[in-house]
Amino acid sequence: MLVAERQKKIVELINERLSIRVTELSKIFSVTEETIRRDLEKLEKENLLMRSHGGAVSIEKDQGEISYLEREITNAEQKRAIAKAAVRSIETGDQIVLDASTTAWYVAKELPDMPLTVLTNSIKVAIELSKKEQIKVISTGGTLLSQSLSYVGPLAERSLSMYHVNKAYLSCKGVHLQRGLSDFNESQALLKKQMMEIADETFLMVDSSKFGTRAFSQIAPLSSIDCIITDSNIDEEIRNDLDGKMIKVIIVN
């Protein structure tokens, strides 16, 4: 196979699967991993994909950073109901961390004005909470991702490491019973993992469409979650598996 033909097929594969690893591409095309890495480097320079640790991800539809406008209207009713259930678990005086998901933004909208400390990497969440005088808001700072209006990178990670919170509230792109939580964006995945590590309890806020799917970047195993808040469309078999793993599940209508 000619080099140009192999590289064309690599782009097609990544756009089809959204993400793929170097090791898998090496086996598919029967070439060394070093050859694949050179292919990916060239294709990234041509703006045809984005390299990530161990592989590459599609940029055809910018899967890692879907705009807030698009995410706000995707499963909006489920997200709002999930956020309301999450708010019921937040108590006066709590110190919590909210990620940059739209569900976290709904949590910020639903939160009453009460004594509370909120740590977040989301500009949208921070702006929403700025309307509530009793809530102390701490922003991580960092490198701005314009599509999601969130901060990521080393500065955001260092900022999180300075704090301890009672509860973490986050979402993700994929929830797999064996492989755990995952996200399209590697930088977001690293921050979500760190949010879980600084919290006493972690609440995962995901609509039922996220179950059974895997995104490119691993966040953490399911065993790291204390409570999952999801909608009533969750598959009964998945619900039973979660019960078997001793993970608390809150179902909203």
> What are the tens digits of pLDDT across the range 80-94?
999 999 999 999 999
| Distance separating alpha carbons of residues 58 and 164, to the nearest angstrom | 35
The hierarchical CATH code for the domain 68-252 is 3.40.50.1360
Output the pLDDT for position 164.
98
Half-sphere exposure of 199 (CA within 13 A, CB side): 27
pLDDT of amino acid 56: 84
For the cut 50, the answer to whether the pLDDT of residue 137 exceeds it is yes
Q: Where in the chain is the domain with CATH 1.10.10.10?
A: 3-57
Does pLDDT of 59 surpass 80?
no
Residue 64 has a pLDDT of: 47
Amino acid in position 124: K
User: pLDDT category, 27, cuts 50, 70, 90?
Assistant: very high
Pairwise CA distance, residues 229 & 8, whole Å: 42
More confident residue, 120 or 58: 120
Please check the confidence at residue 69 and state whether its pLDDT lies above 70: no
What DSSP line would sit under 59-108, residue for residue?
A: -SS-TTS--HHHHHTSSHHHHHHHHHHHHTT--TT-EEEE-SSHHHHHHH
Q: Is the dihedral of CA 71, 73, 76, 80 positive or negative?
A: positive
Tokens standing for residue 126: 């921070």
The alpha helices in the chain, defined as continuous H runs, are 3-17, 22-29, 33-45, 68-72, 76-87, 102-110, 123-129, 154-161, 186-197, 236-244
Query: Which is more confidently placed, 223 or 21?
Result: 223
Measured CA to CA, the distance from residue 97 to residue 44 in angstroms comes to 34
Q: What is the pLDDT of residue 35?
A: 96
- And the tokens for 97? 């961390």
Cα separation values, 191 from 130, 160, 220, 230, Å: 22, 8, 11, 22
Query: What token pair was written down for 201?
Result: 């309890």
In the chain, which segments carry CATH 3.40.50.1360?
Answer: 68-252
> Mean of the per-residue pLDDT values for the chain?
89
- Fold classification of 3-57 (topology level): Arc Repressor Mutant, subunit A (1.10.10)
